[in-house]
Every structure is written in structure tokens, then in C-alpha cells.
């Protein structure tokens, strides 16, 4: 019985680690594409959709930042879906040039806000860009997205990077974003798979996303449903690495806890929901669908994976005489896991932020372990993350992908 447990544990943890390692290496080996901006290109008409729930402190600054984008002013429209914003904020947003769509729900979700907007907006847009209320865009962002669209990409995930790195948790969150971008977006594309989406900084052909959203009414993790519906309609998801969207990183432990609880819960919920369909699609030849529906939802979160393989490796080194599998196997797995996490991180991060990240790591790990026992119901209610940052302060921006 002991050997069965050991083999099951080894198989699962090794599967998670080797999957991440392959994507990490693939992302590193893939050559960085040149910026795809072209002269004389046709400009798509873009709707920038911003669901904003009680974001009075941040939304005006976000909208004002979009006026500085390097894209023809008549070819994009900033649309704020205003859920529970103050009347004064609505007036200021309209004065700043935004189209404001007020909404009210008994239970607020991003999916419901987007569907309310699609129901009211005309169909004369080519692209819909979905952003969060705190997201700021690089000046050339729309140019790059448009160029990818003109090249035939109908589903695009851009690179989300840290807006701030001013606390240990913000540094950890920024590192987590860098790793996730490298593995599940750049690495996945390098392996011929679709990028996963993140919930913001996503651009889609307007008729495609409008039709898909009508099928979604998820409380949490709507992006997990969205990406599967995109693939089911025959579209791959392209990762546009050069297009940067700046996203506020969590600063405090309690915010980190609420956010990760929602993410963990949605992962388990959608693993159960799409387990059968994922396998069916695999046997029909859709590796892409299976990867996002089953494999990525089955993966242990990277921080928990690091804790688990470290603890098991130490246990085997101390109690090898009482266990059956060689401790060397676990040491090799631990090394592989570290490599998969270290390859995506830029050298400048190690020089300036490694100590800060290591100091915050134990508390973050304890939070993640504790969340395993408090996941019930987290995906059935909307957990709002308040944002406050109106400026970009990220010294890693120029080397985030080097």
C-alpha cells in the first residue's frame, strides 16, 4: 500500500513539474518576434470595454491614460461599464471622452457587465478589447493588437505586466505573472498550443466575442470558460508578447488571500465541469481544448507545487530507509521544478528583487496551504479586489522578457 501511495504522489507531482519544465524551455527557445507594426495598415475599429465595479478611485485616471495611445482617435472608443460608480464619477468619465454604460445587478460579475454592454452597443466594431479598471496600456498597444488582427488573429492575449512592485507581495505577484506569461502563453504557443487568457488585456474579433459572451454567466473565472468557447469555435489564442498592459499587483496579504482563494476555487470547479468534455475533445483530436480544460486545471498551483515537492524531498532524504522510492528521484524533481520557475525570470529581477521575494515567500506559502481548507463557495460569489494605483512603477519593464 505504501508503494502505491508513493507512486501516485510521484506521478502527479512529476507530471506537473515536467509539464511546466517543457513549456519553460520551449518559451526560452522560441525567438522573440519583431514588433509587428506596419506602415499604411488598415485600422480596425476597436471597442475598449472596461467593466468597473466600485472603482471610483481609479477609473478616471485609467480612461485619461487611454487618450495618449498611439492610434487614430476615431478608430477606438473607450467604454466604461459602470457598476455602482458614483454619479460624479460618471459625469467626469463622460467629460473625459468615455462612453458610459451604467449597470446594476443583484449579483455583480464581469460577464454580466460585458453582456449588458454588448446588448446596448452597435455592431460596427471590428475588435473588442477587454480591460480591467486598473489597466493602463503601452502607447503602441493598439497598433500591435491591430497588426496581429490584420494578420488573421481573431483571439489575442496580450502580455500583462506589473504596474507596481512596492511591497513583498507585489513583487511575488509580479514574478508570478512573469512566470505564467512565459509558461502558459509564450511556451504554449511555442508548442503549437493556444495561450491561456488572463481575464484582461484580451482582444477578440467583435462578432466572435459578442456571440461567445452570451453563453457565459460565470461568477468567478469567466476567462476559463471563455477560452474553451473560443477554441470550440475553431480559433487558436495568440499570445502577443510585445503588447504590454499594466496591471496592479496585490500589496497586502489579505488581498493576496482573497484573490488566490477565488482562483483556486474556480480551478477546481471548472476541472469538474469540463473533465468529461475535455477527454471527449482529446479523442476527437483537439489537444488544445484538452490542454486548457483538463491539464491546466489539473495542475497544482506553482507555489503549492514548490512547497509540496520541497517537503517530500526533505522527507525522503530524512526517512529514506523507511521508504521505497529513491530519494535521488525527488531531488531531481526538485531541481527540475526550480529550473522551470527560474528560466522565465529576467536577470535584473534576481539582482534587485530576489531577497524581497524570498522574504515574502513563506507567508504566501502558508496562505496558499490554508486556502485548501477554505475553498467552499468561493466561486459562487463575487470577490472584489480594490485598486488604487494611478501610476506605473516597474523597473523591470525594459527587460521583462529577456
Of residues 40 and 234, more confidently modeled: 234
Q: What's the CA gap between 133 and 250, in Å, rounded?
A: 14
Q: What sign for the dihedral angle of Cα 108, 111, 113, 119? A: negative
**With 50 as the cut, is the pLDDT of residue 399 above it?**
no
344 close to 183: Cβ distance less than 8 angstroms: yes
pLDDT band at 401 (very low <50, low <70, confident <90, very high): very low
Q: Which domains does the chain carry?
A: 32-299+345-402 (3.90.550.10)
pLDDT band at 402 (very low <50, low <70, confident <90, very high): very low
Q: What is the mean pLDDT of residues 357-381?
A: 74
**With 90 as the cut, is the pLDDT of residue 166 above it?**
no
Q: What is the mean pLDDT of residues 259-280?
A: 88
Q: What is the mean pLDDT of the chain?
A: 90
Q: Residue 285 — φ and ψ, nearest 5°?
A: 100, 5
Of residues 83 and 389, more confidently modeled: 83
pLDDT digits (tens, 9 = 90+) for 44-71: 999 999 999 999 999 999 999 999 999 9
pLDDT digits (tens, 9 = 90+) for 174-219: 999 999 999 999 999 999 999 999 999 999 999 999 999 999 986 6
313 close to 326: Cβ distance less than 8 angstroms: no
Which residue has cell 446588448?
119
pLDDT digits (tens, 9 = 90+) for 334-364: 999 999 999 999 988 888 888 888 888 888 8
Amino acid at each position: 500500500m505504501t508503494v502505491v501511495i508513493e507512486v501516485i504522489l510521484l506521478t502527479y507531482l512529476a507530471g506537473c513539474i515536467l509539464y511546466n519544465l517543457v513549456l519553460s524551455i520551449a518559451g526560452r527557445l522560441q525567438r522573440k518576434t519583431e514588433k509587428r507594426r506596419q506602415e499604411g495598415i488598415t485600422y480596425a475599429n476597436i471597442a475598449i470595454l472596461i467593466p468597473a465595479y466600485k472603482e471610483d478611485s481609479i477609473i478616471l485616471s485609467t480612461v485619461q491614460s487611454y487618450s495618449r495611445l498611439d492610434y487614430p482617435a476615431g478608430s477606438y472608443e473607450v467604454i466604461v461599464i459602470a457598476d455602482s460608480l458614483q454619479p460624479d464619477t460618471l459625469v467626469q468619465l463622460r467629460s473625459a471622452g468615455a462612453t458610459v454604460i451604467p449597470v446594476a445587478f443583484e449579483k455583480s460579475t464581469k460577464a454580466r457587465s460585458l453582456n449588458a454592454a454588448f446588448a446596448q452597443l452597435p455592431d460596427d466594431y471590428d475588435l473588442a478589447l477587454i480591460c480591467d479598471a486598473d489597466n493602463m496600456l503601452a502607447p503602441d498597444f493598439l497598433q500591435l493588437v491591430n497588426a496581429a488582427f490584420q494578420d488573421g488573429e481573431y483571439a489575442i492575449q496580450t502580455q500583462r505586466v506589473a504596474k507596481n512592485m512596492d511591497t513583498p507581495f507585489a513583487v511575488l505577484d509580479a514574478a508570478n505573472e512573469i512566470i505564467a506569461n512565459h509558461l502558459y502563453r509564450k511556451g504554449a504557443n511555442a508548442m503549437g498550443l493556444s495561450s491561456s487568457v488572463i481575464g484582461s488585456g484580451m482582444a477578440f474579433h467583435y462578432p466572435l466575442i459578442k456571440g461567445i459572451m452570451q453563453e457565459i454567466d460565470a461568477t468567478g473565472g469567466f476567462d476559463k470558460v471563455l477560452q474553451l468557447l473560443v477554441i470550440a469555435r475553431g480559433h487558436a489564442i495568440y499570445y502577443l508578447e510585445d503588447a504590454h498592459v499594466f496591471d496592479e499587483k496585490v500589496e497586502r496579504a489579505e488581498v493576496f488571500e482573497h484573490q488566490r482563494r477565488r482562483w483556486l476555487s474556480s480551478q477546481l470547479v471548472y476541472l469538474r465541469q469540463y473533465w468529461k468534455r475535455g477527454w471527449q475533445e482529446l479523442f476527437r483530436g483537439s489537444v488544445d481544448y484538452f490542454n486548457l480544460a483538463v491539464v491546466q486545471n489539473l495542475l497544482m498551483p506553482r507555489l503549492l507545487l514548490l512547497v509540496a515537492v520541497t517537503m517530500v524531498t526533505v522527507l525522503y532524504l530524512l526517512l529514506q530507509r523507511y521508504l521505497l522510492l529513491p530519494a535521488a528521484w525527488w531531488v531531481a524533481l526538485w531541481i527540475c521544478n526550480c529550473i522551470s520557475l527560474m528560466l522565465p525570470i529576467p536577470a535584473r529581477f534576481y539582482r534587485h528583487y530576489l531577497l524581497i521575494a524570498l522574504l515574502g515567500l513563506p507567508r504566501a506559502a502558508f496562505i496558499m496551504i490554508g486556502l485548501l481548507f477554505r475553498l467552499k463557495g468561493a466561486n459562487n460569489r463575487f470577490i472584489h479586489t480594490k485598486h488604487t494605483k494611478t501610476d506605473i512603477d516597474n523597473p523591470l519593464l525594459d527587460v521583462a522578457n529577456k
